[in-house]
Structure 1
Amino acid sequence: MMHRDIPSHEHLLAPAAILEFSDDLRVADVRPLRNFLAARLSELARDQEEGTDARWAAEHLARTIDAACRDLADALVSWEIELTEGDINRPGHVQRLRQNLATGWDRLVQTAQRYAGHPDYLPRWRPLRYCCVEHAEFVEQALGDATDSGILYSGSPRHDE
C-alpha cells in the first residue's frame, strides 16, 4: 500500500477528531482497528485446542478480518486521491467507492464491538450511517423523524446516548 503525501492537502488527509461520517475515514483510522482486532482474534485462536475445527475457524476469521482491513485501507488510499484530485460527487466508480468505505468500516466495527468491554477498545469504532452531512439531511428529509426518533443526524457527536 502506498500513501501519497500531497503538501497542500494535509488538512484533507488528516484523521477527523470525531468520526461521524464515512467520508471522514482515512487510512490512519484502519491501523489501530486492525491491530485491536488482530490481538483479540489471536487470543480467541489461542484459547482453542490445537488441531480442532474451532482453532481453524478462529485462525481463519483472523486472516479474513486482516484481509478486510487491508482492503479497506487500500480503498481509503483511492478515496484520499479522490479527495485531493477528483470530484467526490462524480457518479459511478467514486460513489461505489464511497458506499464501500462505509460498508467495509461497519463490518469491521461490528466485529470490534464484540470486544467493546476491552480496555483497548476505542469509542471511535462505531458504525457510520451516513457518508456526509448532505446525505444525513437527505435521508432525514426523505424519511422524517418517525423512522428513528429524530436522531438521523445531530450536530452532537454523542447523539446516540
Structure 2
Amino acid sequence: MTGSRALDGIGTLARLGLAAVWITSGLLKAVDPAQTYVAVRAYDVLSRTAVGVVAGVLPWFELALGLLLLAGVGVRAVAVLSAGLLLVFLAGVTQAWVRGLSIDCGCFGGGGAVAPGQTQYVQEILRDVGFLALAAWLVVRPRTLFAAERRLVTSGLG
C-alpha cells in the first residue's frame, strides 16, 4: 500500500467513524424528542424557546452530517460543520462542569439532571476531543476511499 493510499484508508476510517457517531447520536435523540428537550434544557444556558428549537433541529442536523459522511459527499465541508458542532458541545459540557451542574450530557440520548457524583465530565470531554480529532483529520485531508464525491470528480460530474 502506498503512503497516499494508506492516508486515504486512515481518512476513510475517520469518515466512517464520525458518520457512525452522528447517525447514532442523531437517531437516539430523534426517537425521544421529549428527552432531548430535557437534555438540552439541563445545560441551563438557553431560553425555553431556544431549547425547543435546538432540541428539535439537533437530531436531524446530526443525522444529516452522518449520512453525508457515510456517503462521502462534501467531506471537508461536513468535517468543518462537525468540528464546529463538537466545539459547541465541548463548550457546553465544560461550562456545565465549571458551574457545578450535575447532568448527563445527553450526547447519545438520555440526558438531564443526575445525582451529584454521577457526572462523567472528563470522559465526555475526552470523547468529544477524540471525535474532534477525526473531524480535524478530514478537514486537513478529506480524500477517502469509497466516497461518492471522489467518484463524481473522477467521472467528470463534479
The alignment's TM-score, normalised by the length of structure 2, stands at 0.44
The alignment's TM-score, normalised by the length of structure 1, stands at 0.43
Give the structure, 1 or 2, with the largest relative contact order (CA under 8 Å, sep 6 or more).
Answer: 2
Higher-helix-fraction structure: 2
